[in-house]
Amino acid sequence: MSGARILRYGVPPPFEFEAPSSWLGRLALAQGCSLEEIQVFLDIHADVDVDQMMYGKALAELRRRCSLPQTAFAIAGSVMAGLEKTGLGPWSLATTTRGTPAFRYCPACLRRRSTPHLDIHWRFIDWRYCPLHNCLMESVCWQCRTPVCYPQDMALSKAGRAGNASQRRCLNCTADLAAAKPCLVNPATSSALTELEACWLLNGRALLASLCSGTARYRAEGVGTAALRRRVYQEWLPLPQQWLRVERRLRSDRSLDNLVRESVRLRPREELKTPWGSVISLERW
């Protein structure tokens, strides 16, 4: 690959909601080279949060260097441009305790994907549940408790060496992440949540909608509006420690098992509705 200025072959098309860091891992696999080589080629420093910086000129350059269409990463780019505009800061994005960019994941979403990949909104700490499957997002591998971090050199990981280089696998222990038992919770109907906790879940979803539309205000059903920066003072969104207590309670609450048969609300793809509830017109980008 060295010497080539533009990648024309072996470039996997990004999925509509995929995060650039997820795609970079898949790109290295498809190119049969190391992640480091890919990062050097694309002038992406290994210590930056590639999802956070991939919008505007940086995204245009990525598309050019990898022969990607203008719609590639349109949603990821819009969300991150929105994050920059609101001034919410990088602390809205999930990281490990060491500061490494991390994802949360929905096991049911991963199970349905023929090519496993990770969505841009799975990077946000306030995206706490999957509205498609009404379950809490998982933060770590259900088997070894390792966080899900990308970009990573999947081929060099334990899963890759075992022939399971896939974003559906824990790269540390090779467990199938889609096999995690979902913690089902529906903010619209669940009696396991207080009204405020249900609002927190819905507001997290609304936050993504507002970032995507580039506005500095957000609105959740029946909740009203608030300036994003006032989140702490007005309790529109919880502090991480506040939510940790809620999540611990929910995950040990056996009454949640009664919610297993709650209906799964899947939306037809052709509606072009985002998982965070707004309708997207790709022409805007």
Interacting residues toward Zn ion by CB under 5 A: 106, 108-109, 130, 132-133, 141, 143-144, 146, 170, 172-173, 175
- Report the nearest approach of Zn ion to the CB of residue 45 (Å): 27
Q: Which is nearer to Zn ion, 27 or 175 (CB)?
A: 175
- Report the nearest approach of Zn ion to the CB of residue 87 (Å): 30
Q: Which is nearer to Zn ion, 87 or 163 (CB)?
A: 163
- Report the nearest approach of Zn ion to the CB of residue 267 (Å): 12
Burial class (CB in 10 A: 0-12, 13-18, 19+), 230: exposed
Q: Which is nearer to Zn ion, 40 or 108 (CB)?
A: 108
Q: Which is nearer to Zn ion, 103 or 236 (CB)?
A: 103
Query: Quick check: bond before 240 cis, omega within 30?
Result: no
Q: Which is nearer to Zn ion, 146 or 213 (CB)?
A: 146
H or E element at residue 226: strand 224-227
Phi-psi region for residue 176, left (φ > 0), alpha (ψ -120 to 50) or beta? beta
Q: Which is nearer to Zn ion, 144 or 232 (CB)?
A: 144
Helices marked H in the chain: 20-31, 35-41, 50-53, 56-65, 74-86, 107-112, 158-161, 195-213, 231-234, 240-251
Q: How far apart are CA 107 and CA 238, in angstroms?
A: 24
Q: How many CB atoms lie under 10 A from the CB of residue 197?
A: 21
- Report the nearest approach of Zn ion to the CB of residue 161 (Å): 14
Q: How far apart are CA 169 and CA 164, in angstroms?
A: 7
- Report the nearest approach of Zn ion to the CB of residue 235 (Å): 26
- The answer to whether 165 touches 29, Cβ cutoff 8 Å, is yes
- Report the nearest approach of Zn ion to the CB of residue 68 (Å): 26
